[in-house]
Amino acid sequence: MKENAFEALTVETLPERLGNIPEIAGRLGGAPADWKVREVGDGNLNLVFIVEGGSETLIIKQALPYVRLVGDSWPLPLKRSFFEYHALTRQEERAPGTVPAVHYFDETQALIAMEFLSPHIILRRALIEGQELPKIGRDLGLFMARTLFRGSDLSMNTADRKADLGLFSDNVDLCDITENLVFSDPYYKAPMNRHTPGLDALVKELRSDRDLKVEAQRMKHLFASKAETMVHGDLHSGSVMVTPDDTRIIDPEFAFYGPMAFDVGMLIANYWMAYFSQRGHEENGSRASMRAYLLRVIDETWNTFRDEFAHLWRTERSGILYQAALYEDQDDGLAAEQALNHVIHDLWTDMLGFAGIEMHRRILGLAHNADFEDIADESLRASCEAPALKFGRHIVVNRNKIQSLAELDRLAEALDQGKLS
């Protein structure tokens, strides 16, 4: 490849262009002309290829200089692959075995070669199909607790943490996407918004809701100013690949230093949306079991996250915050537990706010999700999305009053069954 000129890969050009890179060719094996190359990327931003060689299969991911979902009218810097590479390496250090292994990175070509996960499928697709995967709640709860705690001032050496903060602070353009498409655009008639036609009246009501709009901007304020830890930044059910026995997290190109609760809220929101979408996927029978499963997964994800975070607090709290010198070293372990309770409480309320915002942006903004979009009947789709929007509004506006997931389970069930308007 030309050393200083970016060139987008194609199925036809990939073997020749990557065949002289030992880190890639050596792993794939065989002659580059014999490699089997398939383009599989169906995301919003990047090219993704599966390359099968004589010895191994790899994923080749390349950023494009624009938003693929929109086209070259929306330019984006190639450097987002740099942030994805550095996020993956840090996530592997902090939660080993939870992300694909990275074998090669070329910053100029915005290219990452990584482990091909097979027979994994995207979690969102598995949930749409009605698969009740046994490990995702625990696996994802542990991943979030370990990466979020270990990337923060609760754990990291302060010089290393500040260097990381500086490195990821340059991920300006992807943060800008989140700041606008997630936190602002859904709440007014932004040019790229779209929604299911049957929602018009409810959408008008939400966009006129003063309390909701104020609270949405308070959450945006937190997102923009609370640089607690390196977050994945886009942790939804489309950023997770699964088998019944393994869970891997992918696509952290939105990584930056932000609020700990952002990843947790975004992920749990996607479970709630999956829950509200179930009536649209009952062509082959009742999804009552799947609904109950999803509520259990939400419970297990949050409880695992909370418990592992508490464990790390008690065993790995070596950073500049809540130092043991002030608590345990003075035989006042109770003070450390009191401080932990305050931190967990803040994580809980922030998580709820971010979750509600995520539910709104996935139904009212630019980037929707397949849980709802795969429901072909627009009237049925709208009847699934409407209770999700109402639920999202409740948890954003009332997040400081909500005490438990059991309370939210009852609300979700009542909204889904049409018992509340």
Interval 290-340: pLDDT, tens: 999 999 999 999 999 999 999 999 999 999 999 999 999 999 999 999 999
Burial degree of 103 (CB within 10 A; 0-12, 13-18, 19+): middle
Best CA proximity match to 1, nearest among 193, 12, 15: 15
What pLDDT is stored for residue 364 in this prediction? Answer: 98
Banded pLDDT at 45 (limits 50, 70, 90) = confident
What pLDDT is stored for residue 388 in this prediction? Answer: 98
CB-side neighbour CA atoms (13 Å) of 233 = 29
Higher pLDDT, 145 or 68: 145
Helices 378-397 and 405-416, packing angle to 10 deg: 150
Residue 100 per-residue DSSP state: P
388 within 8 A of 272, measured Cβ to Cβ: yes
93 within 8 A of 79, measured Cβ to Cβ: no
3-state SS class at 232: coil
Phi, psi at 35, each rounded to 5°: -65, 145
123 within 8 A of 241, measured Cβ to Cβ: yes
Banded pLDDT at 3 (limits 50, 70, 90) = low
Distance (Å, rounded) from C-alpha 150 to C-alpha 147?
5
Q: Rounded mean pLDDT of the chain?
A: 96
User: Tens digit of pLDDT for each residue in 164-197?
Assistant: 999 999 999 999 999 999 999 999 999 999 999 9
133 within 8 A of 242, measured Cβ to Cβ: yes
Which sign does the torsion angle of CA 130, 136, 141, 144 carry?
A: negative
Q: Which residue has the tokens 């009742």?
A: 286
What pLDDT is stored for residue 43 in this prediction? Answer: 62
3-state SS class at 87: helix
| Residue 142 Cα to chain centre, angstroms | 15
What is the third-level CATH fold of 121-416? Aminoglycoside 3'-phosphotransferase; Chain: A, domain 2 (3.90.1200)
Q: Which two tokens stand for residue 358?
A: 């995520």
Q: Which residue has the tokens 């987008």?
A: 8
User: Tens digit of pLDDT for each residue in 336-372?
Assistant: 999 999 999 999 999 999 999 999 999 999 999 999 9
The residue count of the chain comes to 421
Q: Which two tokens stand for residue 61?
A: 């991911």
What mean pLDDT comes out for the span 262-268?
98
45 within 8 A of 29, measured Cβ to Cβ: no
What pLDDT is stored for residue 4 in this prediction? Answer: 67
Largest CA distance in the chain: 68
What pLDDT is stored for residue 131 in this prediction? Answer: 98
DSSP bridge partners of 240: 249
Correct CATH for 14-115 of 3.30.200.20, 1.20.1250.20, 3.40.50.300, 3.40.190.10 = 3.30.200.20
Res. 70: pLDDT tops 80: no
Distances (CA, A) of 157 to 152, 203, 326: 9, 46, 18
* Residue 308, Ramachandran bin (φ over 0: left; ψ between -120 and 50: alpha; else beta): alpha
Distance (Å, rounded) from C-alpha 401 to C-alpha 410?
15
- Residue intervals in the chain for CATH 3.90.1200.10: 121-416
Best CA proximity match to 295, nearest among 139, 407, 160: 407
Banded pLDDT at 42 (limits 50, 70, 90) = low
- Own/partner contacts of 396-399, CB < 8 Å, gap of 24 or more, are 396/212, 396/215, 396/216, 396/219, 396/352, 396/353, 396/356, 396/357, 396/360, 397/211, 397/212, 397/215, 397/356, 399/215, 399/349, 399/350, 399/352, 399/353, 399/356
pTM: 0.96
- Residue intervals in the chain for CATH 3.30.200.20: 14-115
Best CA proximity match to 123, nearest among 144, 102, 139: 139
Res. 2: pLDDT tops 50: no
Helices 288-316 and 260-276, packing angle to 10 deg: 170
Best CA proximity match to 392, nearest among 239, 217, 268: 268
Res. 126: pLDDT tops 80: yes
Banded pLDDT at 88 (limits 50, 70, 90) = very high
Distance (Å, rounded) from C-alpha 294 to C-alpha 127?
9
